[in-house]
Amino acid sequence: MRYFPSQHLKDIRDLTDCNNHTDAVWLLAEILGDKKGLEITKALFTIQRVYGSTPEGAIQIRNETLHRLLQISANEFKNYDQIRAAF
């Protein structure tokens, strides 16, 4: 197992602190190289742009995607608890 880079933890924390949750999920998918997560977050960006906000259904999809990415992270990173806390 490896450690999740501390700079990326800070980036995710900063994004969520600024209410950029989809960006934070995208960053985790990018770091993990998770193509499905990247495709989903790109679609969510389009929905957000068209609606001007994030509809409830999109939030549910984002949360499901985050949950799946966190499960992957738990198996890959020793400092999973820090990743989870960043969100």
Q: How many distinct structural domains can be found in the chain?
A: 1
Residue 1 is assigned to a structural domain of this protein: no
Write the DSSP string, 20-51: -HHHHHHHHHHHHT-HHHHHHHHHHHHHHHHH
Domain span holding position 44: 6-86
Predicted pLDDT at 13: 98
pLDDT tens across the length of the chain (87 residues): 899 999 999 999 999 999 999 999 999 999 999 999 999 999 999 999 999 999 999 999 999 999 999 999 999 999 999 999 999
Distance CA 25, CA 12 (A): 8
Predicted pLDDT at 1: 86
Predicted pLDDT at 84: 97
Question: What is the pTM assigned to this prediction?
Answer: 0.93
